[in-house]
Amino acid sequence: MASNSKKAVALVLTAMMAATSLVGCNSGSGSSGGSTTTTSTAASTASGDASGDTSAEESVVDLESDETIKLIKDKIAAEAEKTDGKITMKVWCSSGDLKFEKTLIKEFEDKYADSRYTFSIKPNGAIGEDAAGGKIIESPKDGADVFNFADDQLSQLVEAEAIAKVSNVFNGNVKKNNTDDAVAVCSSGGTPYAFPKTSDNGYFLYYDKRVLSEDDVKDFDTMIAKAKAANKSVFFDIANGWYSTSFFFTAGCTIEYKDGKQTATYNTPEGLSAAKAMCHIAENVDNGFIGAAGSSGDNSTVQQGFKEGKFAAAIIGTWCGRDIKDALGEQNVGAAKLPTVLMDGEQKQLHSFGGYKVVGVNAFTKYPTTAQALAYYLTSEQSQIKRYNERGLIPTNKNALEDETIKADPAQQAIAAQREFAHPQGSSVGGKYWASNIAGLGSEILNAKGKLTDAELNKKLSDLVTQFKG
């Protein structure tokens, strides 16, 4: 859309007004019943006034034009008037991203600087992507204005009416510029609620190419044998439910979280097959295989394991990629989809969780225009490329994914290869899943070094299903 288009200007202005009215209703009553109607009406107005149809949310706006930037500044100034000319906001992010996030926030402040207001935007790395959604739901009015979170938390945030819808002015650009899968996980019931940031919230295999070949890493048994021969180990934290669930997906178990209810077909022959496959691998504990991170956590365990030369391979995600490269030397780092495991007498491809890291805007923020603009900036094409260059995290932006360096990254290729076998978290698990003994099951199998009877395993699986029902 041309930068001098009156249609674009009208859409920006009306969409910003819709965002402001949404938060005003939420802040006043604590209920989104009225705000939903207000937003729908405003969006309809935007559609009619700006484009003459009912699809304004899919219109693409030139957000870099001087005219559009001026309009956004005007709306920020109007918000600042209510708080003595100062925009004070909180941003939650992971501790690993904190330094990088500060850089992007400074760029945002410079881009939208204006004599009518001042910014005071404070990032906090104490509440990471794994916990942000729950903290916002717990007390949305005290939460961050903008927060980074894993996509599986979206349904609970929407149910709690704690997350704002993506403003029409940004939604068209988000939809056009990011992959379809990333856009889909940021929506609920067809309504966009979050901005996609990275596509690598899942796990795959990193390995030392000096110890293991491309053929070696195709199946778990061979990997363990080769690692053992080199006096090293393969690490897979099956004492962590996020990782051990991969066996149940592989066996064909169905896992679903819907309407606040958790179901999983673990107390079945398929569930038993998954548990027995875990037992088979656990027979090698401390003998070519390590299956628990302990109190240090999986990230620290992986970083230290490669640094000290103890690991030949580890199943983890891109967030440890930089440290692994530093430990082994970039030329020695290989990455691949997950290996096969022995299950029911044959080798079966391990499945995984696969998801996205996204950015949301608190429905109760005092600064809806500023928060929406910041969320978009943090997830823009340029920011995603910078995030990859500095943090090694894989983008969702389609143009960024065409960057030759990113396309050639072994981690990106491994994620792409694993994607066929990756399951979205948002439609699979809720809080009861993580509160169950799913992690404890892996620990018990490891402690027994896999020597558990079918009857013992079936009992543990039945107990799990009972816990899911809660």
- The residue assigned the tokens 């490669």 is 306
* Superfamily of domain 204-353+408-469 in the CATH hierarchy: Periplasmic binding protein-like II (3.40.190.10)
Structure tokens at 451: 């020597």
Do residues 334 and 208 lie in contact, with contact meaning Cβ atoms separated by under 8 Å? yes
CATH code of domain 6-193+357-395 = 3.40.190.10
| Beta pairing class for 422-423 and 352-353 | parallel
Phi-psi region of 294 (alpha: psi -120 to 50; beta: other; left: phi over 0): left
Beta-bridged to residue 336, according to DSSP, are 205
CA angle (378, 149, 302) in 5-degree steps: 100
- Going residue by residue through the chain, which has 470 residues, state the pLDDT in tens, using 9 for 90 and above: 444 444 555 555 555 545 444 443 343 333 223 333 333 333 332 333 332 333 344 689 999 999 999 999 999 999 999 999 999 999 999 998 999 999 999 999 999 999 999 999 999 999 999 899 999 999 999 999 999 999 989 988 999 999 999 999 999 999 999 999 899 999 998 999 999 999 988 999 999 999 999 999 999 999 999 999 999 999 999 999 999 999 999 999 999 988 888 999 999 999 999 999 999 999 999 999 999 998 888 999 999 999 999 999 999 999 999 999 999 999 999 999 999 999 999 999 999 998 899 999 999 999 999 999 999 999 999 999 999 999 989 999 999 999 999 999 999 999 989 999 999 877 788 888 989 999 999 999 999 999 999 999 999 999 999 999 87
Report the alpha-carbon distance of residue 280 to residue 451 in Å, rounded.
9
- Domain boundaries in the chain? 6-193+357-395, 204-353+408-469
Do residues 136 and 143 lie in contact, with contact meaning Cβ atoms separated by under 8 Å? yes
Q: How far apart are the first and last CA of the chain?
A: 52
Predicted TM-score of the model (pTM):
0.78
Report the alpha-carbon distance of residue 25 to residue 79 in Å, rounded.
15
Report the alpha-carbon distance of residue 220 to residue 5 in Å, rounded.
58
- Domains 6-193+357-395 and 204-353+408-469 agree in fold: yes
Report the alpha-carbon distance of residue 142 to residue 446 in Å, rounded.
41
